[in-house]
């Protein structure tokens, strides 16, 4: 039963297009939807009985409703998917992409004309780039992977010999580098090419990136003839060599010369309760590769979507065909993906999608977007390739998930853990890492839903102990991690804490044998926690992989699972991930201590993002210290005043 306040709010909704959001009692976002008529759509959820279905389960949780009125259905579509992408509601299809797409960057607008006050501006740099774009540089892409960007850079180096070195390296060279010797750079750092000639190479490289290959070949041929007629045979030979290299690259890389310069090819497949969308990119007429995407929450979202489609049919008063799950997945991907990535003018799709979606994408991007789902000739070959890839990617995912679930079940059975809900089986693993007592770090990695959960990892700085005392380090990290859990259990009177409170995992792994387990037992006894949750991973004879034994804190005998055991494979996977996470943190801390990385952290106005940009641009703190104020100002987000502050702080 829903509150009178909520039902009154539903009754008062306007008959206008908009977006609605459902929340549960704990404030969690359940669902985001759009409607041509808010009043009719939302009321439909509460007026009908949905029984024990998934949508009925969702509706039973709704305690709060929020709506936003918009001007059109297209605007509602974009707002809906922006909210889905940023707030992750439980009953919507969600495509996660933790990394931004990479671009190929050509630096400096002044480099286009071979002018500019700084050498780095007179000679534009070609580089791999990931992040937000600006108007200071030219960006080409996005590319599906870092490999595709780096391969393109190598192609351009072979033909146009543009520089790739950092401005600080470029400004301080006294002789050409190895890239000049192997004919991959024209040596602008030591004035072996004029700014005007270099600017021509930059323009030609940009033309190639835009797919204007035939026009570019014609321009090069015309230049070669002009040099030959003027008896400038060396220059004519240079242009001829460029034409030869370009023709060879075009042949080797199968660069297409059709009118389709920028195209995305998307194929979708649903099988075994999972879905995959394979995105292949054509940029500048060249096929760059593909990238798979796997949505989450498919089952719940499909059930809600079916009920919503039925409601739309009832609103229209006429029968409408049920939308296949593949179309639902593809439309969700298009709406979410192209809110943050530029959409090309042509989409080649494995399934037809709603024209209203294409109209909304066109309005939001300013590009007229068209779609084909039954292409011919070359586009048909592209789509066939994308469909083969999506089948392979989904088969690989299902095989991996099946294997991982089998490992989880094997471990639960080996340790007598509950097997009725293996998805929620949670394991936390701890490891200590240091170098001769220096920069001691403890790591905690988390496993549940059959995979490692990187967003829940934690690192702990270990302080106040004797260097190299791993037992004291383990005591400190376990006490810090589980003291809140013990407090929550006491507040709950010994019962399982409610959702949102700190909870004890089903299994606590410690990387070590009897000594580390004894230390963990002391901590758990002091906190009043369940000792049976603690398991140590003791290395076997001569520390050989596969010979590990499990040590228990509650007095059980050691267990050897066998080197071919699926349970041991999972334990080793989690233990190795904890070790990797700990050692990377330790090395970073050690490097900061030895190199003085903490100096940047102490400068007012230099936060984590700016510090990361500075270290990436100059290769470390020493590189930042060697940079001039002008060099520092070239880093995104560094103003002249802040550049001067950084320079003074490091000198």
**What does the H/E/C string look like for 290-324?**
EEEECCECHHHHHHHHHHHHHHHHHHHCCCCCCCC
Q: How far apart are CA 297 and CA 85, in angstroms?
A: 13
pLDDT at 269: 92
pLDDT at 258: 45
- In three-state secondary structure terms, 612 is helix
Residue 104: both structure tokens together: 């190929």
Q: How many CB atoms lie within 10 A of CB 186?
A: 22
Q: How far apart are CA 440 and CA 472, in angstroms?
A: 11
| Sheet order of strands, 274-283 included | 286-293, 274-283, 263-271, 346-349, 370-372
Sign, CA dihedral 581-582-585-591, equals negative
Q: How far apart are CA 192 and CA 238, in angstroms?
A: 14
| CB contact at 8 A, 401 and 279 | no
Give me the domains of the chain, ranges plus CATH numbers: 4-87 (3.40.1440.10), 108-252 (no CATH), 263-295+322-395 (3.30.420.340), 422-592 (3.30.420.340), 596-649 (1.10.150.20)
Q: How far apart are CA 495 and CA 205, in angstroms?
A: 67
| CB contact at 8 A, 193 and 186 | yes
DSSP-assigned letters across all residues of 526-566: HHT--GGGEEEEE--GGG-TT--EEEETTSPPPB---TT-H
Q: Is 318 exposed, middle or buried (0-12, 13-18, 19+ CB in 10 A)?
A: exposed
Q: Is 555 exposed, middle or buried (0-12, 13-18, 19+ CB in 10 A)?
A: exposed
Q: How far apart are CA 420 and CA 167, in angstroms?
A: 59
Positions of the chain with pLDDT lower than 70, given as ranges? 49-53, 97-100, 109-121, 211, 213-214, 242, 245-260, 306-322, 436-438, 494-501, 542-543, 586, 588-599
Beta bridge partners of 550: 537, 559
Per-residue pLDDT tens over the stretch 256-308:
444 457 889 999 998 877 889 999 888 777 777 888 888 887 877 777 776 66
Measured in whole angstroms, the distance separating CA 572 from the mean position of its chain's CA atoms is: 26
Q: How many CB atoms lie within 10 A of CB 34?
A: 24
Among residues 592, 570, 548, 561, which one has the least CA distance to residue 452? 570
Residue 368: both structure tokens together: 């007229």
Q: How far apart are CA 287 and CA 268, in angstroms?
A: 19
Q: How far apart are CA 422 and CA 413, in angstroms?
A: 11
Which residues are CB-contacts of 330 (< 8 A; sequence separation ≥ 6)?
266, 268, 277, 349, 350, 351, 353
Which H/E stretch holds residue 264? strand 263-271
| CB contact at 8 A, 339 and 81 | yes
Q: How far apart are CA 224 and CA 232, in angstroms?
A: 9
Q: Output the CA–CA distances (angstroms, integers) from residue 264 to 283, 284, 378, 425, in the order listed.
A: 9, 12, 13, 39
Q: How far apart are CA 556 and CA 414, in angstroms?
A: 13
């Amino acid at each position: 039963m829903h509150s009178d306040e909520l039902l009154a709010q539903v009754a008062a909704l306007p008959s206008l297009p908009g977006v609605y959001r459902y929340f549960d009692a704990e404030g969690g976002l359940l669902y985001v939807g759009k409607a041509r008529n808010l009043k009719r759509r939302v009321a439909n959820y509460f007026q009908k009985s949905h029984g024990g279905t998934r949508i009925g389960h969702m509706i039973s949780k709704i305690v709060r409703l929020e709506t936003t009125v918009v001007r059109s259905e297209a605007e509602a579509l974009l707002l809906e998917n922006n909210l889905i992408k940023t707030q992750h509601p439980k009953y919507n299809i969600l495509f996660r992409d933790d990394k931004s797409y990479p671009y190929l960057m050509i630096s400096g607008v002044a480099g286009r004309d071979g002018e500019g006050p700084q050498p780095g501006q007179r000679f534009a740099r070609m580089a791999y780039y990931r992040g937000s774009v600006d108007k200071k540089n030219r960006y080409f892409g996005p590319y599906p992977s870092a490999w595709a960007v780096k391969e393109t850079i190598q192609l351009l180096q072979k033909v146009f010999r543009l520089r790739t070195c950092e401005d600080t390296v470029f400004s301080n060279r006294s002789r050409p580098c190895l890239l000049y010797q192997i004919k991959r750079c024209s040596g602008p750092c030591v004035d072996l090419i004029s700014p005007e000639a270099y600017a021509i190479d930059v323009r030609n490289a940009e033309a190639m990136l835009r797919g204007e290959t035939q026009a570019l070949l014609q321009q090069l041929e015309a230049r070669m003839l002009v040099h030959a007629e003027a008896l400038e045979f060396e220059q004519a030979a240079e242009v001829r060599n460029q034409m030869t290299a370009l023709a060879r690259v075009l042949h080797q890389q199968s660069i297409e010369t059709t009118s389709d310069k920028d195209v995305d090819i998307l194929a979708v497949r649903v099988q075994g309760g999972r879905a995959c969308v394979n995105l292949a990119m054509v940029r500048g007429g060249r096929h760059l590769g593909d990238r798979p995407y796997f949505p989450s929450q498919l089952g719940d979202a499909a059930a809600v979507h079916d009920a919503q489609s039925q409601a739309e049919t009832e609103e229209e008063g006429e029968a409408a065909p049920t939308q296949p799950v593949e179309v639902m997945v593809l439309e969700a991907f298009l709406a979410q993906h192209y809110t943050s990535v530029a959409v090309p003018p042509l989409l080649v799709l494995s399934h037809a999608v709603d024209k209203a979606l294409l109209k909304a994408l066109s309005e939001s991007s300013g590009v007229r977007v068209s779609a084909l789902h039954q292409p011919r000739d070359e586009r048909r070959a592209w789509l066939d390739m994308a469909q083969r890839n999506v089948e392979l990617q989904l088969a690989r995912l299902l095989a991996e998930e099946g294997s991982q679930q089998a490992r989880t079940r094997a471990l639960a059975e080996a340790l007598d853990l509950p097997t009725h809900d293996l998805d929620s089986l949670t394991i936390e693993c701890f490891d200590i890492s240091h170098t001769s007592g220096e920069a001691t770090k403890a790591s905690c990695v988390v496993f549940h839903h059959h995979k490692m959960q990187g967003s829940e990892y934690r690192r702990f700085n270990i302080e106040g102990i004797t260097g190299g005392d791993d037992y004291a380090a383990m005591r400190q990290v376990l006490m810090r991690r589980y003291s809140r859990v013990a407090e929550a259990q006491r507040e709950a009177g010994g019962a399982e804490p409610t959702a949102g409170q700190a909870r004890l995992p089903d299994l606590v792994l410690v990387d070590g044998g009897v000594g580390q387990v004894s230390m963990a037992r002391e901590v758990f006894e002091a906190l009043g926690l369940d000792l049976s949750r603690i398991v140590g991973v003791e290395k076997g004879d001569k520390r050989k992989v596969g010979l590990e034994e499990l040590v228990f804190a509650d007095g059980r005998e050691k267990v050897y699972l066998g080197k071919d055991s699926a349970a041991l494979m999972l334990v080793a996977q989690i233990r190795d991930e904890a070790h990797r996470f700990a050692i990377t943190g330790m090395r970073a801390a050690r490097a900061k201590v030895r190199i003085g990385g903490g100096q940047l952290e102490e400068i007012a106005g230099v936060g984590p993002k700016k510090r990361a940009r500075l270290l990436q641009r100059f290769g470390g703190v020493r590189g930042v210290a060697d940079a001039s104020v002008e060099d520092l100002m070239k880093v995104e987000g560094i103003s002249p005043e802040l550049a001067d502050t950084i320079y003074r702080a490091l000198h």
